[in-house]
Every structure is written in structure tokens, then in C-alpha cells.
Structure 1
């Protein structure tokens, strides 16, 4: 009898940093529509926070008619919804920028696809009421620390414009993939903002504050800003929606293959709309071939799996290029829009393989 050694053949998270913990999803080896919890990428700015019983009470204060504190169990008792979505770090693929940019050198794995369950933020704000002076909603997490560029302790905090905060799919989540949110992903409560990069989905939610001014915390006014110039801040703009993007999962870059038939497969995604087309080029972008898409009909916030049957008899080195197009006409560019903090890389994906 052969022993079962399948447990030996499994992917692992790829460590970028341990303190704070930053780990990449092994995205090239996963084909599940929902990323298993053990493979969801981890992005932290500080060490994990120490939580106490106060973490199970969520204050909503500021420019509201009736400031309230919502107990965890009360939030769970409210009508809920489940949001299946791409969760992508704004720095995903940062390692591919040229010139290089500073920060975690993420490759392809600062992205996962998950299912959140929770209550719409607008439903909580219905109980408190919103004053006519309100223009943003700010969110503070329990995680905090000293920034390297400012010798002060800051919590991780960000805001949303009122319109985005009141979108029915912006939720206060308490479950991830049908179980309580794990501690390292924001337990007990996490803000979840579909369509936007992951920096918007504040973990370990401590307080919601409706405000009558623009929020200027460092994780919004300094970080998560596109700075197109190396030496000055001219032309800066905030990082918000996920850009149209794709990767080739298999074969991997610099693989050695035999002649004959091969399956090229991958994923494509966009924060704005859905994926309508994925194309491959084998001649440096002179011509493009459509691939077969595998989509759910109602996949507003999900990535799209794709596959292409490639028959190759010519030995030697081959370059394969991949680009995606979404339902709003956005298409991956040949070159990403360089910015000095390395956000939003979405250039045409390129691998090289050798046929022997």
C-alpha cells in the first residue's frame, strides 16, 4: 500500500517581513474561488495590537444626531450580508517598478479573494443619524506605532467620502470565509470596502467618527498617495480603486517546458466593473489572442479565472504577455504609471519560458 504523502505538496505564505508581519499569498498555486484563510496575504504597518473587552464595543460618534456604542453581539443580530471580493494591497507588484521604489517588495501575492459577512455601515449610521455638516467618515483601528518619518505614535486610521461610506456593500464585517475573523485579519470587527485597495479596509476597528472636514492622518495624507514625481509632490492624488490587472499563474516565469501542448492559466481583476477580455501575445505585443474566461454571472467584486491552450514546437526562449480589459474599457498599459511609493502597478504581465 502506498502511503499518502499529499500533505507534503502544499504551498506556503511567502514572508516579506516578520515584525510587523507581512506575508504573500502563494497565488500561483491556488485555483479556489475563495482563498483559504491560511493562504490570505497579511499586510501590517505595526505589531499586532493587544485587545481587551472594549474591542467588542464599537462607538459611532462625531457629526451624528445620536452618538452610540454598538456591542459586538448587537451588530451580529442585525440583518447581514456577505460580500465576496478581491482584497489587494495597493503595493502589490511593487517589486516590478523601474526605477525601483521603496517599501515592501511585493511580487504577485499581496492579493486574495475572500468572503466577508457583516452589516452595512449605512445601517449603523441610520441608527445614529448623520448631520448635514458631515462630509467624511473616519475609521481608527487598535493597531498603532511610531512612524519612521514622523517621530510620533499614530494609530492606523483612514477615512472614506460619505458616498463610499454609505454604499450598501461597505460593511462592518465580523466573519471571514464563514468563521469569526481571525485575530491576524482584524478580529473582532473590520471595515470592508469593496473595489478599493486593501488599505481602506481598516482592521481591529476601534471607532467610527463622522467628520465635517477632510481627514489628514498620515496613512491618508502621506501614505497611499500617488506621487508621480520623485522630487516633489506636484500632481499627487489619492490611492482609491483597484486598477485593472492580471497575472499568469502557470507556467511560472523562467519555466523550462517541452514542445507540444501546454495550458496557460491565470486570473484577472478590476475594482471598476468586471473583466470582459483577457489577451495573450507571443510576439512582443504585435498581435493578441483571446483566452477563455471562467466567470460567475454575479461576480461584481471577484477576479476572473482564464485559460489558454498553447501548442509550441519551436525550441528556444519565448516571451508571453498578458493583459486584461474591464467592462468600463480600462486596459492594462504596457508600462505602469510610476509613482515614488510604488502603488497600483498594473502593467502588462510578462513571463519568459524556455522550450527544450
Structure 2
């Protein structure tokens, strides 16, 4: 009835900042397993880059036998790979941490997915040839600026260990959902690293450099590091694989419901393997039941949609929870792994509703 009365009303991104632009996907309104460009979350450290015609050439240099400069025309001639991939901000759900942590206070919308098409990075590196002492591959974007807590001006750059860089599903993408990548999501070239948090999927790729040492750029050695202690850097380790996770999309948190039958719906995803089961509790975690997973959505790298039919007759307040388990037997914990920068939140999802 609501949509019939107001047919032009559409969901929109939730804004955290505009300079740089950081906006999250309205995940409760995503009905399909593909997120279209207008609702794909936006995560930036700096203002959008000013691109010149030189962007259409991709240099690969460093610890390689034959440095190369690839044109866009050359790139699209390589055998292409198309993958449906979840991209999740490492700070997704940061606002749920207790005690609170500083940073963009993302809710549950720092996540989107769609089809990415491009050329495997491995194929390009094979064209250059790797020297025997090659260890990591740095991918640098055109975006740059100053970052709080980091001295100086830096370009956004990340490295991959050789094993991950040579994985056949690590691609230099030039299409998203069968169209050129939108500018705000990395046009014309974006690295896509399936299974890793999206900081690894560098946008607006400027150049690729193979190195024979460990990369210590600030977005790898300072940011995107788990710091388990509030007052020191002991026991720190890098952010890489996406943690197993789930989100309840329906009903909404703090929604008032009538007694009767309700469908609890949501998504679940993981960085390694596939989702094997999703469990639902309607009594604050005291008892759990299995949700139904859509059978056609169990391929690697994408989220699965799930649902659970809940019949409630008694009035009152209820805490609904969801937790997913993947093929590596990783299950969402009841409490998150607290860390100072607020990365990788994956505690069992939790909402509250009132039945009248």
C-alpha cells in the first residue's frame, strides 16, 4: 500500500561525510542480490581524484623482468573473468562496538555486491615476468591527501602477498554490472580482491609495482591493522579476510509488530569458503533455529539470502538474533573482537522488536 500511494519514493544512501564522501547502502531496502550503482556504498579517505588521459595507461614495474605499459585497449583484449563479489568496508558495523571506537560510525550498510569483470592480475604479471626475489605487489590509486593520524600527504596504496596477487580470481576490473565501472567506484580500473575487506580493492588504479620486500605504506602499517589494546600496539596484526557475518534486513530494529506470522529475512557472507547455515533466535540467544538459505546463492565470494518464519502470539518485547557458520566452521561470536580502530565487527546480529 505504501509503495502504491507513493510510487516515486526510493531508498537513498545514508551519509556519514561528504568531504571525503562516505555513505552507506540502505541494506534493509536491498531486495536483490545485486546492488545497483546508485545504492552501492561509498568509502573514501580523500576527495575524488582529478584524472587525466594518462590514467588510461597502466604501468607495471619494479621487480619484474620486463616492465610493461598497458593501454585500456590492450587490457580488454585479455581473456576476461566475471565474478559476483561482496565488497565490505573493514569498518562496517563499527558503530556497534562497545566501548565505542573513533572513526566513521558505520551501521550495517558498509557492504554491497555485484558483478565485476576484468583481467586477472596474474595474466598481466605473467606478461612482465616476475624476478626470483619478488615478494609483494603494490597497487596504487590516483586518490591522495592527508589522513588524520598519518603524517604527510600520501596516495592510497596497498600491497598483496604474491600468492594473493597471483590468485586467478584477483582481477583488474573495468566493468561493474555489465557497464563501465562508475567513476565513484574506481573508473576506469579497480583492483578486486575477493574474500578480503574492500580496502584491498584499490580504486582508480594508477600503477602496479612489484617489490622484493614488505610494503610499509600507511594504509597497511598504520590503518587497516587490528589493535586489540586501547593503550598500546602490542599483538597487532593486519586486516585481510572478511569475517563470517550476517545482517537482519527485516523486520527493522525497534519496529512495532502485530501478533501473528512474520518473515525474518537477511543476508550472510564470509571471506573464506561458503555459508553453510544461518541460525535465528527470537529469545535473546537462549534458543536457536535454522533459517532457510536460498539454494541458488551459495557460490564463493557472494552473500546468501536467508529467511525464517516466526509465529508470535504473546505481546511484549523480543530480541531477535542471527548468526552464520561457514564451510571453515567459523561461526559468528556472541561478542565482537574489540579493536581500537573498529575493524571486522562480526558479532551475531541483533535487533529488538515490540509485539502489540
Residue 354 of structure 1 is matched in structure 2 by 354
Q: Secondary structure at the match of 1:77?
A: coil
Note if 1:107 corresponds to 2:107. Answer: yes
Deviation at 1:151, TM superposition (A): 3.5
Conservation of the 8 A alpha-carbon contact between 2:297 and 2:304: no
Q: Secondary structure at the match of 2:354?
A: strand
Note if 1:240 corresponds to 2:240. Answer: yes
Deviation at 1:297, TM superposition (A): 6.0
Note if 1:66 corresponds to 2:66. Answer: yes
Residue 270 of structure 2 is matched in structure 1 by 270
Residue 143 of structure 1 is matched in structure 2 by 143
Residue 131 of structure 1 is matched in structure 2 by 131
Deviation at 1:340, TM superposition (A): 0.2
CA deviations 1:208-235 (Å, max 9, x no partner) are 0000000000000000000000000110
Mapping 1:14-163, distance limit 5 Å: 14-163=14-163
Residue 326 of structure 2 is matched in structure 1 by 326
Aligned residues: 354
Conservation of the 8 A alpha-carbon contact between 2:268 and 2:303: yes
Residue 8 of structure 1 is matched in structure 2 by 8
Residue 296 of structure 1 is matched in structure 2 by 296
Note if 1:335 corresponds to 2:332. Answer: no
Deviation at 1:6, TM superposition (A): 5.2
Structure 1 gaps of 5+ residues are: none
Structure 2 gaps of 5+ residues are: none
Note if 1:210 corresponds to 2:207. Answer: no
Q: Secondary structure at the match of 2:150?
A: coil
Conservation of the 8 A alpha-carbon contact between 2:227 and 2:236: yes
Deviation at 1:7, TM superposition (A): 3.9
Deviation at 1:107, TM superposition (A): 0.3
Q: Secondary structure at the match of 1:108?
A: coil
CA deviations 1:118-149 (Å, max 9, x no partner) are 00000001110000100000011000001222
Deviation at 1:285, TM superposition (A): 1.7
Distance in structure 2 (CA, Å) of the matches to 1:35 and 1:119: 22
Query: RMSD over aligned Cα, in angstroms?
Result: 1.2
CA deviations 1:263-303 (Å, max 9, x no partner) are 11000000111110101112222221001001326611110
Deviation at 1:73, TM superposition (A): 1.2
Distance in structure 2 (CA, Å) of the matches to 1:111 and 1:295: 21
Distance in structure 2 (CA, Å) of the matches to 1:295 and 1:112: 20
CA deviations 1:165-216 (Å, max 9, x no partner) are 0000000000011000111100111111000000000000000000000000
Q: Secondary structure at the match of 1:122?
A: helix
Q: Secondary structure at the match of 1:8?
A: coil
Q: Would the alpha carbon gap of residues 127 and 201 (structure 1) be closer, same or farther in structure 2, given more than 3 Å must change? A: same
TM-score with structure 1 setting the length? 0.98
Distance in structure 2 (CA, Å) of the matches to 1:47 and 1:87: 20
Deviation at 1:240, TM superposition (A): 0.2
Distance in structure 1 (CA, Å) of the matches to 2:297 and 2:145: 43
Distance in structure 2 (CA, Å) of the matches to 1:92 and 1:109: 7
